[in-house]
């Protein structure tokens, strides 16, 4: 199960969903249930408690992970995002908040590490990387092509946004450097994210 605090966290949750599904997990999504509207989270309590593994994606102060962990008995994987402003420090506030969660059973990945959370959820579900290989073999090749296409689109949009920021700040960066950054980011996520490393180990 993947839970998001707000709609701004959806891009991170999407890649976590794809990664977990590629590892053979059946993923249920609960979106926009941040602590600012606690009644929305409590309305989903029955569904939350039915989940075997819960990935919580949240920015701002990252409190949702602690709250969810206090309501369920399943392990919680917390994914801090860059969503926020001011003293959120590009996701650092959410990361520190999740690391200091007082509720037991919370594991925290790095900022925006959606693929890492998806892989970890798959390992928790199946216990061994070698058990995931046969599951991956069942997926049609078109699914992997679609995942690669989404990764390309994701990084193309990031590249455009980065170029716009640089232009707005009047910072001149050689086009070749921009292209290298784009290719490097794409190479790390093309399968998507760290799932490529998992596929190599399975193979």
Q: What is the pLDDT of residue 107?
A: 94
- How far is residue 64 from each of residues 40, 68, 176, measured CA to CA in Å? 12, 6, 41
Q: Provide, rounded to the nearest whole percent, the portion of the chain with pLDDT above 70.
A: 82
Among the four given CATH numbers 3.40.50.1970, 3.90.226.10, 3.90.550.10, 3.40.50.1260, the one describing domain 2-136: 3.40.50.1970
Range of 60-64, 142-146, 164-168 with top mean pLDDT: 60-64
Six token digits for residue 175: 């086009």
Which class for 107: exposed (0-12), middle (13-18), buried (19 or more C-beta within 10 A)? middle
Q: Residue 108: pLDDT above 90?
A: yes
Q: What is the pLDDT of residue 131?
A: 61
Six token digits for residue 77: 């994987």
User: Per residue in 127-152, pLDDT tens?
Assistant: 765 666 666 666 677 776 777 777 77
8 Å CB contact between 108 and 81: no
Q: What is the pLDDT of residue 109?
A: 95
How far apart CA 148 and CA 12 sit, in angstroms, is 16
- What integer best gives the mean pLDDT of the chain? 82
- Kindly list the domain boundaries of the chain, sorted by start residue: 2-136, 140-202
Q: What is the pLDDT of residue 166?
A: 77
Q: Residue 24: pLDDT above 60?
A: yes
How far apart CA 116 and CA 154 sit, in angstroms, is 17
Q: What is the pLDDT of residue 18?
A: 86
Q: Residue 199: pLDDT above 70?
A: no
8 Å CB contact between 109 and 117: yes
Q: What is the pLDDT of residue 86?
A: 85
User: Greater confidence, 2 or 173?
Assistant: 2
How far apart CA 151 and CA 51 sit, in angstroms, is 27
Q: What's the mean pLDDT in 56-84?
A: 94
Which ranges in 23-127 belong to alpha helices (H)? 38-42, 45-50, 64-71, 92-99, 114-126
pTM of the model: 0.65
Q: What is the pLDDT of residue 159?
A: 76
How far apart CA 131 and CA 24 sit, in angstroms, is 10
How far apart CA 37 and CA 59 sit, in angstroms, is 15
Q: What is the pLDDT of residue 93?
A: 94
Q: What is the pLDDT of residue 168?
A: 84
């Amino acid at each position: 199960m993947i839970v998001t605090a707000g709609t701004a966290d959806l891009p991170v949750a999407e890649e976590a969903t794809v990664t977990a599904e590629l590892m053979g997990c059946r993923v249920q999504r609960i979106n926009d249930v941040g602590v600012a509207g606690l009644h929305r989270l409590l309305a989903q309590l029955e569904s939350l408690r039915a989940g075997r593994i819960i990935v919580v994606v949240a920015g701002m102060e990252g409190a949702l992970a602690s709250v969810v962990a206090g309501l369920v008995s399943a392990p919680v994987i917390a994914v801090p995002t860059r969503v926020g402003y001011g003293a959120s420090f590009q996701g650092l506030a959410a990361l520190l908040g999740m690391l200091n969660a007082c509720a037991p059973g919370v594991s925290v990945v790095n900022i925006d590490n959606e693929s890492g959370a998806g892989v970890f959820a798959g390992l928790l579900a199946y216990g061994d990387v070698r058990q995931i290989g046969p599951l991956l073999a069942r997926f049609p090749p078109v699914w992997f092509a679609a995942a690669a296409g989404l990764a390309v689109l994701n990084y193309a949009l990031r590249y455009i946004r980065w170029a716009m920021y640089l232009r707005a700040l009047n910072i001149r960066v050689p086009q070749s450097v921009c292209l290298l950054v784009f290719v490097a980011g794409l190479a790390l996520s093309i399968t998507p994210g760290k799932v490529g490393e998992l596929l190599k180990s399975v193979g």
